[in-house]
Amino acid sequence: MLFAGIDIGSTAAKAVLMSEDKREIVARNLMPSGWNSRETAERLLSWLMSLGYSRDDIRIIATGYGRVSVPYADSTLTEITCHGKGAAFLGGDDLTVIDIGGQDTKVIIIKNSRVIDFVMNDKCSAGTGKFLEVMANRMGLTLPEFFALAEHGKDIKISSMCTVFAESEIVSLMGLGTPREDIACGAVGSVVSKVATLVSKKASSGKYYLTGGFCESPLLIRKLSETLGSEVFTTPDARFAGAIGAALLGK
């Protein structure tokens, strides 16, 4: 029996297939969640089946906000439990997991590879991936272009926490002729400071560990480490943490 985890987030859908002993990742897949979670879930199932196994060989556990749209899942779990488990698999048994998602950000405290506490951002999108996506869009850039630009920027202060207000603030800054790289750098700084506030709400455990789509954004990782005063660890597989955790929790 193999174990698959499907994590349908607000922006990206992730799937991993894990070996029978749950020690290694056999295959992984990432695609945009799109506008129809159910369709995305079906595409991930086709992918799983294309790997050469039969449906009966695999236990499938769904997570993420779209988990209810995975009709073929054997069970579902919340993304908090799964991210915690997946991060512990990647980063160690005691961690303060920082997951910056497409529409929410969470801090999960892991002790002995178990979730003992967590906190999520409130209903607004400040401090989430959505914030940077909106800013990049406003500047006519893709997220990779936005980050590449931000690397060369000076840290300016974006004072609005609210995504909608920050967008207007950026429009004014562009109007004033502020260099785009500085604006991009400032926007990353805004997310980092909001995330750091969320982290400070909980007593940390072990090292900081970043999961989610920004695990390959050196600028964000560097700024987050500076603000928290301690190195933030991650790995390219950390964007699959939720899916990995789901697979690990399959029975």
Partner 1 sequence: MLSLPKNFETFNEARQKSFMALYQAKERGKKIIGTFCSYTPVEIIHAAGAIPVGLCGKSEQGIAEAEAILPKTICPLIKASYGMAITDQCPYFYFSDGILAETTCDGKKKMYELMGKIKPVHVMNLPQSKDQALAIDAWTEEVKRAAKFLEDLLHVSITPEKLHDAIVYRNRLRRAIVDLYEVAKIKPSPVSGYELSTVAESADFHFTDDDLIAKIEKTTRDFKARTRNDGANRPRVLITGCPNAGVRDKIIKRLEELGADYVCADTCSGPRVQKFMIDENADPYRAIAERYLKINCSVMTPNEARFDDIKDLVKEYQVDGVIEIVLHGCHTFAVEAYTTMNIIQNELSMPYMRLDTDFSQSDGGQIETRLGAFIEMMIAA
C-beta of 47: minimal distance to partner 1 in Å?
26
Q: Please, what sign has the CA dihedral across residues 106, 211, 250, 206?
A: negative
Task: Examine residue 235 and tell whether it contacts partner 1 (CB under 8 A).
Answer: no
Site string for partner 1, 104-143 (x = CB under 8 A): x---------xxxxx-x-xx--------------------
Of residues 11, 78, 204, 225, which one binds partner 1 by CB under 8 A?
A: 78
C-beta of 228: minimal distance to partner 1 in Å?
21
Task: Give me 165's structure tokens.
Answer: 């207000």
Task: Examine residue 161 and tell whether it contacts partner 1 (CB under 8 A).
Answer: no
Task: Examine residue 70 and tell whether it contacts partner 1 (CB under 8 A).
Answer: no
C-beta of 192: minimal distance to partner 1 in Å?
22
Task: Examine residue 74 and tell whether it contacts partner 1 (CB under 8 A).
Answer: no
Return the residues of window 35-64 that contact partner 1 according to CB under 8 A: none
Please give the span between the terminal C-alpha atoms of the chain, in angstroms, as a whole number: 10
> Cβ neighbours of residue 44 under 8 Å, at least 6 residues apart?
6, 13, 15, 29, 31
Of residues 33, 37, 81, 163, which one binds partner 1 by CB under 8 A?
A: 81
Task: Examine residue 65 and tell whether it contacts partner 1 (CB under 8 A).
Answer: yes
C-beta of 123: minimal distance to partner 1 in Å?
5
C-beta of 210: minimal distance to partner 1 in Å?
19
Helices 163-175 and 180-200: crossing angle in degrees, nearest 10, is: 150
Q: Token match 């073929």: residue? A: 72
Distances (CA, A) of 84 to 45, 238, 243: 24, 11, 11
Q: Which is nearer to partner 1, 78 or 235 (CB)?
A: 78
> Cβ neighbours of residue 162 under 8 Å, at least 6 residues apart?
124, 126
The rounded distance, in Å, linking the Cα atoms of 211 and 234 is 7
Q: What are residue 100's DSSP bridge partners? A: 105, 212
The rounded distance, in Å, linking the Cα atoms of 130 and 112 is 32
Q: Which is nearer to partner 1, 23 or 123 (CB)?
A: 123
Applying CB under 8 A, the residues found at the interface with partner 1 are 65, 77-81, 104, 114-118, 120, 122-123
